Amino acid sequence: MGIGCMAMVANLQYGWTLFVDPIDQKYHWGRAAIQLAFTIFVITETWLVPVEAWFVDRYGPRVVVVFGGVMVALAWVMNSYASSISMLYVAAVIAGIGSGAVYGTCVGNALKWFPDRRGLAAGATAAGFGAGAALTILPIARMIDTSGYEAAFLYFGIGQGVIVILLGLFLRQPASSLPIKEKKLNLPQTSYGFRPMETLRSPIFWVLYVTFVLVASGGLIMAAQIGPIAHDYKIADVPVSLLGFQMAALTMAISLDRIFDGFGRPFFGFISDTIGREYTMFITFSTAALMLLTLAN
């Protein structure tokens, strides 16, 4: 259920790039102003997760995810009718709240169910967020071309929100903390639950926080700008064939990115359970850095 919910909010982040140029062509607000909405979305999506997690602890995952589904639908419906840049920004805030509520709740709930395989559990759940957009990138792109971006926002927003709500109704958390099977997990890991202030006083928390901000920034910039970049180089609509499939270069690039992102999350989660978090982060962060450098050449 958690994976399905994650898949339904993936397009808020990874499908956004398809809408930037169509919005600009209609209202001429400028890419910078339109992309500020994406920045607002990311900030709201990430920084409010601790607050949403508090609601999960108090009311359970079901209530928070259903709330997130409502917000997701509302945000994209607002985007479809947005005739001012300020309304686009308000919708971005609502989308960020909804996406963060779903993402943080589903990953956190998976960790509670599988405390002895936290890496794999988090990776498998996040795979829905990574690969979810791959299934809908092509339909969204086609609807934008045939019916306009407003229709894509409206119908996909309502559909995604409804599915999140329905799946969220089936979510539940363990009745009590599940034991960690130490004999199967040879990692420096504790079952002790740190309090929020204990976490904030820990230097390693801030090292990890800064590291993840730096790593995520590169990926998010690429995800948001790949559409405008492809249009600037006039390659967005160039037909590309791969393994018998043919589609526009931009659609193909986004789809492949989402497919391998979805595959990589549970794979490296499993690797981290096997060789440790630090070694795995070194491998993945180094690989991501090299791939981002290729985009500059």
pLDDT digits (tens, 9 = 90+) for 21-67: 999 999 999 999 999 999 999 999 988 888 888 898 888 899 999 99
Q: Where are the domains of the chain?
A: 2-177+196-294
Res. 140: pLDDT tops 50? yes
Please check whether residue 40 is in contact with residue 12, taking contact to mean a CB–CB distance below 8 angstroms. no
Res. 247: pLDDT tops 90? no
Res. 213: pLDDT tops 70? yes
The whole-angstrom separation of Cα 284 and Cα 280 is 6
Res. 183: pLDDT tops 50? no
Tokens representing 172 are: 């539940």
- The pLDDT of residue 263: 80
Which residue would you say has higher pLDDT here, 158 or 270? 158
Mean pLDDT over each residue of the chain, to the nearest integer: 84
The whole-angstrom separation of Cα 231 and Cα 250 is 9
Res. 148: pLDDT tops 90? yes
The per-residue pLDDT for range 55-91, each reduced to its tens digit, is: 988 888 999 999 999 999 999 999 999 999 999 999 9
Percent helix, strand, coil in the chain (nearest 5)?
80, 5, 20
Cα 90 to the center of its chain, rounded Å: 19
Tokens representing 121 are: 């559990």
Architecture of domain 2-177+196-294: Up-down Bundle (1.20)
State the pLDDT confidence band at 153, using cuts at 50, 70 and 90: very high
- The pLDDT of residue 192: 64
The whole-angstrom separation of Cα 269 and Cα 66 is 27
Please check whether residue 17 is in contact with residue 149, taking contact to mean a CB–CB distance below 8 angstroms. no
The whole-angstrom separation of Cα 240 and Cα 237 is 9
State the pLDDT confidence band at 9, using cuts at 50, 70 and 90: confident
Please check whether residue 118 is in contact with residue 273, taking contact to mean a CB–CB distance below 8 angstroms. yes
Phi, psi of 255 (to 5 degrees): -65, -45
Q: Which range (103-112, 176-185, 231-240, 246-255) has the least confidence?
A: 176-185
Neighbouring CB atoms inside 10 A of 200's CB total 11
